């Protein structure tokens, strides 16, 4: 896959903070009652899987939805390389 059409966040300095912020916001409603925590994350417009893969340890199942075939190929490779 070329990845030329896929979106990448080009401000890499903010990525760790951005990813942690999103994961914290997703988990926030269930912090007090972990028994009600959802088991499935659906990442719509997932691109190469940045958020889905970063949050995958918090869920039993992660589903990424993406229309760009190159991005899907890269997301699958990213998942394989992370052991997800």
**Residue pLDDT, tens place only, 41-81:** 999 999 999 999 999 988 889 999 999 999 999 999 999 99
Assess contact for 53 and 72: CB atoms under 8 A: no
The predicted pLDDT at position 43 comes to 94
Residue 84 is predicted with a pLDDT of 87
pTM: 0.75
Closest to 25 in 3D by CA, of 3, 48, 54, 2: 54
Cα gap 69→73, rounded to integer Å: 6
């Amino acid at each position: 896959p070329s990845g030329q059409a896929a979106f990448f966040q080009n401000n890499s300095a903010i990525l760790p903070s951005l990813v942690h912020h999103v994961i914290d916001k997703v988990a926030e409603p269930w912090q007090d009652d972990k028994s009600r925590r959802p088991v499935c994350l659906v990442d719509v417009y997932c691109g190469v899987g940045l958020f889905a893969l970063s949050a995958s340890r918090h869920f039993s199942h992660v589903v990424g939805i993406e229309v760009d075939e190159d991005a899907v190929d890269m997301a699958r490779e990213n998942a394989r390389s992370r052991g997800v």
